Amino acid sequence: MKKILNRVPEITIPFWIIKVLATTVGETAADFLSVTLNFGLSVTSYVMSGVLLIVLLNQFRLKRYVPVSYWIVVIVMSITGTLITDRLVDDLGVSLMTTTIFFSVVLLVVFIFWYVNEKTLAMHSINTAKRELFYWVAILFTFALGTATGDLLAEALKLGYTQSALVFGSLIAVITLSYYYLRINAVLAFWLAYILTRPLGASVGDLLSQPTTSGGLGWGTVNTSMLFLSLITSLIIYLSFKHKKRVSLPIDPQN
């Protein structure tokens, strides 16, 4: 019988590390392109949306999990999701509270529609184009929601970047402990943690890149983005070699 390949990675510690790093890059890279390079939110949004479409088409073409392709999509989607929220808030004047509520509702609708159609939201079952499409739509809105939530706490509610990062990190820790010790549903735990890693990464990105006068450490968007991209690249290379070695192993005829 032909094995149906999963199109997304297994949930491991490297997965979560790269996810947080990618969300940080999404925050700093969006600021770098739109502010530092002065492209503006509109132009940057159009360009990154086009790039996202290209990398997504390549991802669907592969029909399987390939570390480099998958994580490029995540990084580009992180930047695009950040820009969506920034445009609503900065260009259209929508409040952070409104965008947080709006994207929460949209994401809930995506999950309901996904479950009604596929009867599962599990990561290990993303093995068809339809399920992968639901998956990426959900991921995009987790990034947009995370950006709005992170900015809401850090800026609108004036908690600051450090305190916001601690809040989101603590919530992720609670979810993790609840999964291991209280046995909450694994799929629910995954998606809650996935959503919260976005504002955690955004808060860390702002903390590192923003000037000291704004409560940051003043590293700048370029240095912060390059640092985290280097870490992501190293981890992806490691995962690529590991994945290649795994798929090249001979199949036991008894299994």
In a domain, 8, yes or no: no
pLDDT in tens, 34-70: 888 889 889 999 999 999 999 999 999 998 889 999 9
In a domain, 255, yes or no: no
In a domain, 250, yes or no: no
- 131: exposed, middle or buried (Cβ count in 10 Å: 0-12, 13-18, 19+): buried
pLDDT at 252 over 50: no
In a domain, 110, yes or no: yes
In a domain, 200, yes or no: yes
Min mean pLDDT across 14-28, 99-113, 116-130, 214-228 is at: 214-228
In a domain, 75, yes or no: yes
Q: Which domain holds residue 175?
A: 13-241
In a domain, 246, yes or no: no
In a domain, 7, yes or no: no
pLDDT at 1 over 50: no
CA distances from 175 to 39, 168, 181, 184 (A): 39, 11, 10, 9
CB 45 within 8 A of CB 144: no
pLDDT in tens, 192-210: 999 999 889 878 888 888 8
Q: How many separate domains does the chain show?
A: 1
